Structure 1
Amino acid sequence: MTLVLPSALLLLMVAIEAFILRLIQGKEVPWNQIVFNLNSGHTILWVFRGLEVAVFHAVYERFSLGWVAEWSHVAQFALALLFWDFCFYWLHRMHHKLGVLWAVHVVHHEGDHFSLSLGIRNSWYSSMTSIPFFIVLAVVGIPTEVFVAVGAMHYFVQFYNHNALVNKSGFLEHIMITPSHHRVHHGKNEPYLDRNFGGTLVFWDKLFGTFQKELDDIPVEFGTDDHVATDNIFWANNLPWLKLLGIRLPELKPVTRRLRGGWMWTAGLLSFAILLMYIHAEVAWPLADRNLLLGYGALSALTIGGLSEGRAWGLWGWSLIHLTALGFWFTRVPWQDPVIAVFLGLAILHAASTWHSASWAKAD
């Protein structure tokens, strides 16, 4: 339950921002992209994030030099806050400079709608490529629980810095990475390209000469120039690797229709709800059922990509995975929860509605 509430809060913040942008400010909201961002790999990423923490803990247990073992918890936490941010700066900068790391990070930058949901959009493999940069904290002797807590704080700041509602942040512009600073980082045009790599503190960018403020007379252009447009998270996460390895890229069929905004947004909510169920079940459920739920979440995220692009396999897959999960509800005890029953009812109703032509619109 500890992680369910923060995850649900992130989802709520994304929804509130999207509706403010659409209903109050009258701006266009690309629902398919927001849903992609929410489902860009969260289930699989969750597994790799756990592996990152496991590796950190193993190094801490076996190779820690214990330099800060006698420090107070407050002092350890303060050091970890600063050291984590320093490591993140170089992690982030190298992910822009080295091709093998850019193949991971580019998934995040391909989103051209700057909003809170973009802060959730990440590669399946981002936690794996973070390990070499953060492992030094374990060697110094930062306890695993401090590493996890500090990381969560920094990642929440970074999530906030993707919001589309805040322009400038007053005196904080001189101390922290703000939404304005991070908009600069996502710019693909000069003078913004490859600037502002910091995660929380702006100090590192100013120290190492990579800081650029947002200019009123030069709008930020978001996205990447070589983006292969797809809502399929499998291709989004793996096409950059094929390109890096010089493997011929598959020819993706053009999108001729898209699921309408309300249906698309609801599909995203349903898929994200499976993640919340998995987080909640991770402690209490038997391993076999946790793995089934993990597979359910992964397949839902994959099929949403096909559903968003109007692919026949996405339409069939979206229906079949929920019907299969209903079978688990009837046959496996941990699944026989009233909340899951309600969820499956809603999911199956949604899947049934996607077969109706009113759910679809012609693609732009």
Structure 2
Amino acid sequence: MEYLVSAADRAAFKRCRRQWDFAATARRCLSPVRRTTYDLDRALRDALAVYYFPGMWDWDAAIVLPLVTKALDNALGRQREALGADPPDWQATLDRAHLLLERYFSWAPTVDRFSPIRVETDFDAIVPDPADPEHGLVGPGGGGIHYTGRIDLLAIDEYDRYWVVRHRVLDEPFPTMEQLVLEEDSVAACWAWGRFYDGMEVAGTIYNELSPRSTEGSPRNQRLPERRRGGIPQHEPSGGGRGVSSPRRIYVKGRPAETTDRISHIEGNGLRRTVIRRNNAEIHMAGAQLAEEILDMVHPDLHVYPSPTPAHCSACAFVAPCLAVHENRDVEPILEADYRKRPAIEIERGRLGGTPFGVGRGWVPGSGSAE
């Protein structure tokens, strides 16, 4: 039986082992029966998946932007249903999300310097054994260990280099450049994507950060930008004379760029775009560190303990059963009443994508040019 470790499982293991024990795919695999709050980050990522959908990248803004707004409404609507009774903050949440998205509509064409290839795409990478990289790690029961996750956006720039793009909404100050350089999930995604699609070289990570806080006026009712996309349209050739939307090589390595800056960023009106180049050694090290951490997760003598902090516990969905364990009470009635076992494959209603090569322009790695 295969042992699956998701990016969320890894983060939970490092944050709090008790939370990880409740939620991880290879442990209890539980999730709350009912949502308790809105997830603005998830809703905006659903909307941006439509904004950057490769098949519509060249479409007119007047057609695409209403579809993006509708995707946002649908995503928040599904969350509203999951919350049960009509929440009192529904309209405020909806208005807040719309204002943030409208600011993004005005800003993105000035900073986008790529063409989208994949949105909301899952990956599944076999984790190598650190002691014998030619073979995969083996989990409990003798099955192979796989690292799974999802990238918000895979993009290609004018130099034919591939980038993993991460969207996120932060209701707090933007992290420092040092924090972004050390951020693990996105670098691990670069490593995993290179193994998932053998031979593809990822140039680095792009962080697309949005904050509901803005020091400038709202762009509501402003005229839509004449050209929705900045940088590279799908049907214009890149510097190498090849249409950016049609990767035709199994082994993809971009050309050297004119700039060798390690980090570049632009910020304004509660929005920030940060580009960080990642070299091969850094990406390889991310995979090696992941393997070492997974060895800890599958160790037969693993100790499970909590790591309580105000920041972690305030957002944790397992506070009630954690308190029961802490107070030596029976936790099973709480789990049975308020949590459910997640299915192995959970279909997300309304999600754009859902399979590794089910979206975009019909291109599957190794199949030749896009249709």
Instruction: Tell me which interval the TM-score lies in, with the shorter structure as reference length.
Output: under 0.3
Q: Which structure's residues are more often strand, by fraction?
A: 2
Q: Which structure's residues are more often helix, by fraction?
A: 1
The normalised TM-score by structure 2 is 0.24
The normalised TM-score by structure 1 is 0.24
